[in-house]
Amino acid sequence: MHTGEPDQLASDRLESQNIINAIRRGTVPASGLERIAVGLDVEENVIGAQLDFVSRGGGDIKFIRGDYGSGKTFLVERSLEMARNKDFVTAHVVISSSAPLYKTKGIYQQICASLRTRDEEHAQKAIIDTWLFGIEERILKVSDQSLSDDALEKATLAEIETALAGISELNTSLAAALRTYYRSNNAGDFQTAQAAIGWICAESNVGREFKQKAGIKGDIDEASAFTFLRGLLRIIVSAGYSGLAVAVDEVETTQSLPRNQREKGYRTLQMIIDSLDRGDFPNSYFVFTGTPAFFDGPRGIRTLPPLYDRISVVQAGDEFRNPRQPQITLAKFDAKKLEQVALKVMDIYSTAYTEVDRTRVSHRFIRAMIKKVTSKFGGRVDIIPRIFLKEYVDVLDKCELYEEYDPWQQYHFDAEHLKGELKEEEEAVMVMEF
């Protein structure tokens, strides 16, 4: 039974439909993750406390450790959602062979390309506009609103330089690009303004014409990328946000690189940790994901002892894990948790569409369905959540669309239709039938 204002009901229904649509596609929903989270209360409390510390000017980091099927991606997305709810800007970086950990420019590019606020995605321009508007507002307030447009522009251009003091001592190009962006916007030259945003975000397709207008030589490179990240952080905080939360996914791919590149990547990771400890990245939170091999394997961080010392944890059994340590260790997903998720999805489906007929889709049916799907994947419950939930939503759809549909009689799990869409880990445990 839903109560509340019509607008809230419409918002709840829209979010619920977005969640169900994402599950149909086998992806993690973009919002509303707290509605399907199971067994993560302690971890969420720890991450929430870290974000509160960061919002007060600190810098912090967390590593999420787990095998495939443990829910690393879900917890990362949930962490970013929590950050946005606390008014952070968020970004999501995925490490791969084409975007390796040791290339700091690539990390910076991905951060800029994925900037997101509570209200909008691809938020680079909105963040810079908010920052510049705030500068103008402060100048007008001090001058009692009496400045001409030309005088306001001149004062704002000077304030851009002042606001980036320290950054400009290391690299003057960021302030130059921002001044060019501001002037171009005011003049209605939106092509140049867009080029300025592109250059600040290290996009490769910004032409020579913009750099000539801005008085900039060269581009953001490996040596300057983190200097620009510090500048971006300052803009974000000055624009009124709590800070920047960055998720860095799949760092375990670094293990497959040649030794020199692998070690360079690990040194980059150590540099980020040390920079946070020194206060070079105030108001910033980094969360990394990795498999156990990344932390303990022969090609993992053990090969760089100073990094291993910073990240290693004291383990005292599985029952009382301590997520306040550098690593959060996730247990594998089990049938009990999957059943709890299924019940939550049923509630979300009822909000998105109509109340689910719980005589047809009962607790008993859910347990039987989990067993049926799991049996095709070697009994590995931790492998099947994505597959199971897609199948489960299909059952809910058919129950809503057809009164005569009886899942007990008519649901059959045929893994054949999954061929071509299975992930490597899912395919590896699939039971072959001859």
Summarize pLDDT for 123-164 with one digit per residue, the tens: 999 999 999 999 999 898 888 667 788 888 899 988 888 888
Residues 104 and 246 in one domain: yes
**H or E segment and range at residue 354:** none
Q: CA-to-CA distance for 23 and 130, rounded, in angstroms?
A: 34
Angle at 137 between CA 136 and CA 143, to 5 degrees: 90
Cα–chain center distance at 276: 19
Residues 251 and 385 in one domain: no
Domain identity same for 175 and 200: yes
Q: Verify that 59 and 207 share a domain, yes or no.
A: no
Q: Which two tokens stand for residue 261?
A: 């590149």
Residues 269, 254 share a domain:
yes
Residue 128: inside a domain, yes or no?
Answer: yes
> pLDDT, tens digit, for every residue of 289-327?
999 999 999 999 999 999 999 998 877 556 678 899 999
Asked if residue 383 belongs to a domain, the reply is yes
Residues 112/201, Cβ–Cβ less than 8 Å = yes
Whether residues 76 and 104 fall in one domain: yes
- Are residues 340 and 316 both part of a single domain? no
The single residue listed with the structure tokens 């690539």 is 106
At residue 420, the pLDDT reads 66
Domain boundary (226, 252, 280) is at 226
Residue 24 belongs to a domain? no
In a domain, 235, yes or no: no
pLDDT digits 0-9 by tens, 339-384: 999 999 999 999 999 999 999 999 999 999 999 999 888 888 888 8
Asked whether residue 220 falls in the same domain as residue 72, the answer is no
Cα 227 to Cα 212: distance, rounded to the nearest angstrom: 22
Do 350 and 410 fall into the same domain? yes
Is residue 236, in this structure, part of any structural domain at all? Answer: no
Range of the domain at 404: 335-429
Which residue, among 79, 104, 356, 71, has the nearest Cα to 224 in the 3D structure? 104
Q: What is the pLDDT of residues 206-219, one digit of tens each?
A: 888 999 999 998 89
HSE-up of residue 4 (Cα within 13 Å, Cβ side): 9
The last residue of a domain, from among 270, 299, 329: 329
Contacts of 169 (CB under 8 A, 6+ apart): none
Count of Cβ atoms closer than 10 Å to residue 254 Cβ? 26
pLDDT at 430: 67
* pLDDT at residue 3 tops 70: no
Q: Is the pLDDT of residue 421 over 90?
A: no
Distance spanning both ends of the chain, measured CA to CA: 49
Task: Please indicate, yes or no, whether residues 360 and 385 belong to a single structural domain of this protein.
Answer: yes
Q: Among 194, 226, 258, which residue terminates a domain?
A: 226
The answer to whether residues 261 and 320 belong to one domain is yes
Q: What is the pLDDT of residues 397-408, one digit of tens each?
A: 999 999 999 999
Which residues does 281 contact at the CB level (< 8 Å), separation at least 6? 59, 229, 230, 233, 272, 275
| pLDDT tens digits, 154-191 | 999 888 888 888 777 667 899 999 999 999 999 999 99
Cα dihedral 368, 369, 371, 377, rounded to 10, equals: 170
In degrees and rounded to multiples of 5, residue 29 shows phi and psi of: -60, 150
Length of the chain: 434
Are both 128 and 214 inside the same structural domain? yes
**Nearest CA-CA partner of 80 in 25, 27, 29:** 29
Three-state DSSP class for residue 297:
coil
The total domain count for the chain is: 3
- Residue position matching structure tokens 């993992």: 300
Q: Please report whether residue 350 resides in a domain.
A: yes
The mean pLDDT of the chain is: 90
CB 130 within 8 A of CB 239: yes
Residue 16 lies in a domain: no
pLDDT, average across residues 228-238: 95
Q: Please give the DSSP secondary-structure letter assigned to residue 243.
A: -
Q: What angle do CA 42, 107, 175 make, to 5 degrees?
A: 110
Q: Is residue 190 part of a domain?
A: yes
Domain CATH for 301: 3.40.50.300
Our measurement of the distance from residue 3's CA atom to the centroid of its chain's CA atoms, rounded to an integer in Å, reads 32
Helix (H, G, I), strand (E, B) or coil at 91: strand
The pLDDT value given to residue 27: 87
